[in-house]
Each structure stands twice: as C-alpha cells, then as structure tokens.
Chain A
C-alpha cells in the first residue's frame, strides 16, 4: 500500500486566505491527530483532503455526522457499503434487511455498545448515540483512509476510548481532528498542529506530551 499526498492545499474565504498553502503526506500505518484552536482550519483541511482523495477509498465522518434521521441505525450503518451492492439489493434492504448484513452490523454495533438501538430511527437518538452510529458507518465502510472531524466529541471517557480504538484498528491510515489532546496522543501515532491556517507542529506522538501542544491554543 502506498501513502497519500496533499500538495499545495489552499482555502480562501472570500478574499481572505484561511488555510495554506500547505503540504501533507500520509504514509501507510500513520494515524494523524489534527489539533489546534477552533477556527484554526482543521475542518477546512479535512474537507480539502476529502475532495482531493475522494476517489481513492476515503471514508468521511463529518462533524455534523450526515446521518439520515428517518432511517434506522442499521440502515445508516449499511449506507457505508451502498457502493458494493447493486441498486435492487439496496432497495430490497430498505424493505427487508438481509440476515448476513444484520449479523455483521449487529456485531459492529455491539462493539460500540449501541446494538440495542439498531432498529431505532437515528432522529430519536441522543447526540452521543448518533456519534457512535456515524462511527459505525465509517467502520462498516472500510477503505484506505478515514477522515473524521471530532469523532468522539460527544462521548464520555470509556466510550470515547472504545470508539477511538475501533476507528484506528479498522483504518491503516487516518486523519482525525481532535480536541481531547490526551486521547489524541494515545490513539494516534502522529500529531499535526494547525495554527492560523498553517502547520505549526508535525511530530510523532511519542515525542510529544500534552503540554507541548498547549502552545497551539
């Protein structure tokens, strides 16, 4: 497996430059934590990566999650693999899910501790539950790289650990925007700090402590 490269990434808002130009290369096995003040450009950078890499097997977990409130948890998770089945199979799944998918997705949901809600419409879930559903969808999708924006912001300690572990185990490469620095250092092996639209820190996690990162804020 080869890595991914983002070269000369730039984002403008009106006439003001909000990000870049910056270069970032992602090597196999790298799980990058993207840290920095809110408004520093983390989400913008993730969006740019998604645009650049989208036809190379990217799974996206945006901050607003992108769940369909009227569909059940099962169907929202199933949506991660809509591209693997023909349209009629997807249509049939809306009416009557296939046993094989139910077993597989239930196992995944059990891992994230939300299996009991699998037939509940997502619109009826709490914020933390919705976030776990979106994580399950990203895990179910699979692919080369995961791009996630604050994937565990609404979860408490043990649940956040569990979801972070599940996400980083599934994906060989990942870029995760994080605000919990300890969690970021524990689950990612590389940290990229963004400050005022450019890269201020880019080092392996083991060389960093949370106090090193506080300068960014």
Chain B
C-alpha cells in the first residue's frame, strides 16, 4: 500500500515525537502527587467564596487589563491593517506577535516596573500585530464592487468606512470578541509575573495551600469566560472601555531614570557597555549561544514536538464527544454532547500557563506538566473545531456505527481540516513552550527568566529575539507543510 503525503507527514511527526519522548525528562517527582491532586479537586468541589476582597480584585483587574490591552491593540491593529501591504508593516507585525505577552511583560517590568502600563503594553503590542494581520485578511476578502460605484471625488476615509469596513464589520466584531476572550486569558496569566490579575492571586493562594480559594478563583474565571456573551454587549462596550483604564489599580510609580537606563545601558550587550568593543562581542555571543540558547532551543523543540503530537492525538480522540454522529440526536445524546461541550470549554478556557503551573505544583518539575498542559489546552481547542466540522458531514443512512463509523466515515473526512488546524497551532504551541520555561522547565523561557533574575537584560533580550526567530521559522515551516499537503486555508482564525 503506497503512503500518501498526509500519512507520511503524520507518521514522521509521530516518529519524531517518540524519539523526543525518549530523549526528554519525564518523571513525577512530587512526594504524593495524588493527594495534592485530591486536595485541589476538593477545593474545586468545595470552593471558598468567602475571601470576597481578593476574589473581586482578581476578577476586576483581570477584566480591566484585558479590556484596555485588547482595546489599544485592536485600535492600533486596525490602523496597521490599513497599511499592511507595506513590507515593513508586515515584518514588524510578524516580529511583535512572535514574542509572547509574558516576554513583553518581563521586558516592560524592567523599564516601567509594576506599573499598569507594563500589563497594558504586554497585551496591546503582540495583539496589535495579530489584529493587524487578521483585520487585513478580513478587509481583503470584502467585495471590491461597491468601491467602484462611489462618486469620483469621495475621500479615502469615507470610501473605506462605507465600503470595506462596513462590509467587513460583522467579521471584525466577531473576531475582536473572540480575541477579547484570549485577552482575558492573557491578562489572567500576566498575574504570574506580578500584575495584580488572577494569576497573581492564584499563585499566592497556591503557595499558602488555600486550595478552596484556588478552587473559587478557577470557577469564577470559567464563569467569567462562559458568561462573556451575556455581559459583553455592543451597547455596553463604550462604558467598559471608558471605565477599564480606571480599574487597573495604581501599581508602583514609573521611575523614568529606570526607563532611560534600560534602553541606554541595560540592554546594551555587556562587552559594548564595558568598552571591549566588537572584539568582545564575538565570545560573549558565542558563550550565550552555546550554553543557553542552544540547550534552550533543543528543549523547546523537543517539548513542543511531543506536545504537538499529543495535542493531535487528544483532539482526534475528544472530538467525537461533541459530534452528533457519535452522540446521536436523541435526548441522552444531546445531554452527552452538552457535557462534552462543557469539558472542551473548560479545556480551552484554561490557559496553558495556568494549567502547567498547577500541574507543576502537583507533580514536581519535569517536562511532563508542560506537555500535558499544552496538549490539554490545544487539544481542547482543536477538538472543538474538528467536532464542529464533523457535524457538517452528512452520512448515508446505512453508514456503520461505533468504531467503524469513526475509522471509515468520519475520521478520514475530518483529517485534512484537522491537520490544517494542527499546523496553525504549531507556532502557538512553540510560543507557549518557550514561555513555560519561566515556570522552571529548561526551555528558552527558563534562560530568559534566569538572565533577568541575574539582571543581565542584554542576554535576556538576545534570547527573546532568538525565541521570536524560532517562532517565525516554525510558522514558515507550517505554512510550507500546509501548501505541500494542499490543506485549504478557509478555516477558523482561532489563534490564542
């Protein structure tokens, strides 16, 4: 039997992952991981909503940072989308979105300190890059016919507003609403590096062993995301956007001398700062590459390869939960599908970083928590999209049932879209893998974080640039593979 291109690529990815699995470090080092897990589960079942002040503040700040960050990012993104045909705009956007929110936060923490501006910029800058790209795509898809009928001397802005933006408006709104959900997750995670959002409270209560409060925080976060459609209404948006900047908290004042020092001294490579000139730069860079960048890149590639394949396996295993070809259309089937939807919502609403943080507390440090966290979150997202896709398939009335139906009828039909989605998420998985290093797993983020701890911002910046280059490289590879396998591009732009 000859192997098709899709099958060859799939098998190669799995084989590579198996090799990585053998090379990587996977162990549970905690004393009693199951007891810890049990205590967390108990916290979720019997949450403590008594700590109203902390809970309220965590939620308010999370929402406020998300609104301001996404608002600024979307505005900047729309402006950039209008000049996205220029090469330097495209390149600049690809660059800023290749750097994770948390890395941006780490950078801004060094210059602005724990000021709200740090959190806002950390969300707004990468989001602006993403918004610019997607908005530009959406605007490009509009019908050019209305623009041809406009009076000759119509101003550019009026023409744009009435033809392209008006046509694209529903798509722009739905994409922005989707990104707001991503923004809430980003905002929550920024707490782990010191912003006053959910992650901050979660980490501190975890450290103190207050599992009931942790449970309450998690449940409130899910409720917040699940109820997004109820309280984010177009008419209320101006109010939220106006109020949000005043709910960011005060943080600590910005020391402008710090800002100046950061740009003029801290990030200048040490040999140049110390007057060794370009001659000293070579060995400095060589040392950095050999002892930090290369091990970091190795571990990042290793971990993301395993996570990618596990994500795929999980997605293909979970999508039948919400596919009516398997749950059936009768009452119990619908109930089951409802539960399946619930599970997938929880998986995709939990940021990888948060999940990895929790699993790391439970299982101790190794690559295992990171891989599981990445696979659960991304697998949940892809399973949701593949499941929706499978519901569009019409099967013949006498199609086989059960496992035969999965293997012969449904899986072959959704495999192409599934691979396309998986390749879309490859870059995101890679980005997240690098960032999980901040939790202590030796990917690139670990070396970035250590360099910052040692107040060697010059090294941190070079490592962040390497991470960005890695992400851009993977994105190009994924695009090539998609083209090679002729996977169609018309799928959801879900990318956080």
Given contacts A54-B152, A55-B152, A81-B151, contact A67 B158 (CB under 8 A): no
Q: Chain B binding site: helix, strand, loop or mixed by DSSP? A: helix
Complex alpha-carbon distance, A66 and B147, angstroms: 7
Nearest-Cβ distance from residue B134 to partner chain A, whole angstroms: 18
B170 on the interface (CB 8 Å rule)? yes
Instruction: Report the bound CA distance from A143 to B153 in whole Å.
Output: 12
A79 within 8 A of B: yes
Cβ contacts B143-159/A at 8 Å (1 or 0 each): 00111111111110111
**Which B residues lie within 8 Å of A134 (CB)?**
149
What CA separation (Å) do A81 and B149 show in the bound complex? 11
Residues 48-81 (chain A) with a chain B CB within 8 angstroms: 54-55, 57-62, 64-71, 75, 79-81
Contacting residues, chain B, for A79 (C-beta < 8 A): 146, 149-150, 162-163
Give the contact stretch, choosing among A37-45, A87-95, A181-189, A196-204.
Answer: A87-95
Q: A66-B145, A68-B146 are in contact. List 20 more A-B contacts (CB 8 A).
A: A55-B152, A62-B148, A65-B149, A66-B148, A70-B167, A75-B162, A79-B162, A79-B163, A81-B151, A82-B150, A82-B155, A82-B162, A83-B150, A83-B152, A85-B158, A87-B157, A90-B158, A91-B158, A91-B161, A134-B149
Shortest A163–chain B CB gap in Å is 16
Among A66, A75, A86, point to the contact of B149 (Cβ < 8 A): A66
Tell me the nearest residue of chain B to A55, going by C-beta.
B152
B162 to chain A, nearest CB (A): 5
Question: Given the complex, which residues of A lie within 8 Å of B152, measured CB to CB?
Answer: 54-55, 57-58, 83
Residues of B within 8 A of A132 (CB): none
- Tally of A-B Cβ pairs under 8 angstroms: 77
Closest residue of B by beta carbon distance from A67 = B146
**Selected contact of A71 from candidates B148, B150, B154, B162, CB within 8 Å:** B162
Contact A62 B153 (CB under 8 A): no
Q: Are B155 and A68 in contact (CB under 8 A)?
A: no
Provide 23 A-B residue pairs closer than 8 Å at the C-beta atoms, listed in order of the A residue: A58-B152, A59-B151, A60-B148, A60-B149, A62-B148, A68-B146, A68-B166, A68-B167, A70-B166, A71-B166, A79-B146, A79-B150, A82-B150, A83-B150, A83-B152, A83-B158, A84-B151, A87-B155, A87-B157, A87-B161, A90-B158, A94-B161, A143-B151
- Judged by a CB distance under 8 angstroms, whether B169 is at the interface is yes
Taken together as a complex, chains A and B put the C-alpha atoms of A75 and B161 apart, in Å, by 11
B149 touches A61 (CB 8 A): yes
* Chain A residue at smallest Cβ distance from B157: A87
A137 adjacent to chain B (CB < 8 Å): yes
Closest to A85 in B: B158
- Residues of A99-153 whose CB lies within 8 A of B: 134, 137, 141, 143
